[in-house]
Amino acid sequence: MDKHPDSGSLAPATAHSISELVTVQPGAIVSRTLTQTPVGTLTLFAFAANQALSEHSAPFDAFVQVLAGRAEITIDAKTIGAEAGSLIVMPANIPHAVRAATDMKMLLTMFRPQTPA
C-alpha cells in the first residue's frame, strides 16, 4: 500500500512500534513528527531524565499522552505529575512547560483552530 499524503513518514495500515520510532538519548530531547497537516500535528518525543521544554504557549490546544516514564507538566503555573497512561490537555494561549522526571516518551497532538467556511 502506498503512503497516504497525511501519514507523514509512517506507512498506513501498519502497526508501528512506538519504542522503535524514537529512542531516549542521554542528556537530550529527541522528537519525530509523525504527521503534519493543515488541521494539526502529531509528534513523538523521547526525553532523557531532567530534560525540559521551557515555558511557552501555542495558539491552539495541545494534548500530551505520556507513553513511558514520568513527566512534570506545568500549565499556567500549576505543576501536574503524569506517568505512562496519562493524558493532559494544554489549552491554547496558556503558558506551559514539560520536564521529564525520568526517561520519558510522550505523544503530542495539536489541533489548529479552523476558520468558518
pTM of the model: 0.86
The alpha carbon of residue 18 and the mean position of all alpha carbons in its chain are separated, in whole angstroms, by: 12
Q: What is the DSSP letter of 83?
A: E
Domains and CATH numbers, the chain: 31-111 (2.60.120.10)
First-residue to last-residue Cα distance in the chain: 33
In this structure, the strands spanning 78-83 and 52-56 are unpaired
pLDDT of 66-111, one tens digit each? 999 999 999 999 999 999 999 999 999 999 999 999 999 999 999 8
Confidence of residue 116 (pLDDT cuts 50, 70, 90): low
